[in-house]
Amino acid sequence: MWRERDGVRLLSCHELERDGFINGFSTRMGGTSPMPQNALNLAGFHEDAAENIHENRRRFLRLFDGDWQLTAVWQMHSADVRIVRDREDARSDQVRCDALTTNAAGILLAVKSADCVPVILGDQRTGACAAVHAGWRGTVARIVERTLERMSAQYGTRAEDVRAAIGPAAGGCCYEVGAEVIEAFRSNFDDADSLFQPTREGHALIDLQRANRNQLIQSGVKSERIHTAPFCTMCRTDLFFSYRREKSTLGRVGRLISVIGRQG
Ligand SMILES: [Zn+2]
């Protein structure tokens, strides 16, 4: 479901919203960053002016009614999960991890991406939610499974109550990987070969959205409660930023963010 305000567009999961979780996957439209122009770059302070990012975040947050504390983290392709206790705790964005979870209202958990897979989770029964950044390393490290385990330990979340939305990411149509990645998946997942489409010697296309969907199902999330955005960031650079597509040609790549939070 698309939402738009003053030229800023985002993709939102209607079912999660119906469960009481405000959520959205950003696009590149309606911003102020020269990437190449009017780009809604929402992170990456070393590649864009801070005032652009702050203005873009202000525009992005206007799509959500109410008073929200946005919280992001320093991502490093790990399987570390951070518990965000309250709004005060949410103000710190220097924590290093790749997933965030909270059961407090009014906090907008955010993960950044540009090709990696963003996954957001909402548990209507306990009010807990989570935002997860899963690149290939995080996927191999089973970060969505780790996040569900933390939600279960911390908030009593049961996987069968969870609804998940998997956001736009480099798709199985475009994301080619080499022997190192193929080997990492083969040694960690019995069904790894179902994720690959062989290309040239020693290379294959990998479907990371599907890999994360499989992990959610194996953790007990019902398949009908997993919603996958039908967009590849590498195919659709008109809508999204793609690190792999744009880094070499433009030098600088914007960052998308994916957010979820519980309404008070
Ligand atoms: Zn594609």
Query: At 92, which CATH number?
Result: 3.60.140.10
Ligand 1 center to residue 227 CA distance, Å? Answer: 18
Cα separation of 7 and 128, whole Å?
31
> How many other C-beta atoms lie within 10 A of the C-beta of residue 80?
18
Determine the pLDDT at residue 72.
85
Task: Indicate the pTM of the whole model.
Answer: 0.96
Question: Which chain residues have CB less than 5 Å from ligand 1, an ion?
Answer: 171, 173-174, 232, 234-235
CA 193 to chain centre: 24
Cα torsion 243, 226, 76, 37: sign: positive
For residue 82, tell me if it sits in a domain.
yes
Determine the pLDDT at residue 213.
98
If one counts the domains in the chain, the total is 1
For residue 188, tell me if it sits in a domain.
no
Over range 190-205, report the average pLDDT: 96
For residue 181, tell me if it sits in a domain.
no
Task: Say whether pLDDT at 248 is over 90.
Answer: no
Ligand 1 center to residue 169 CA distance, Å? Answer: 9
Determine the pLDDT at residue 48.
92
Among 88-97, 118-127, 130-139, 186-195, the range scoring the smallest mean pLDDT is: 88-97
Residue 241 domain boundaries: 2-171+230-262
Enumerate the β-bridge partners of residue 204: 177, 198
Ligand 1 center to residue 237 CA distance, Å? Answer: 10
CB neighbours of 75 closer than 8 A, spacing ≥ 6? Answer: 96, 97, 98, 111, 112, 133
CB neighbours of 248 closer than 8 A, spacing ≥ 6? Answer: none
For residue 239, tell me if it sits in a domain.
yes
pLDDT, tens digit, 9 for 90 and up, residues 11-68:
999 999 999 999 999 999 999 999 988 999 999 888 999 999 999 999 999 999 889 9
For residue 153, tell me if it sits in a domain.
yes
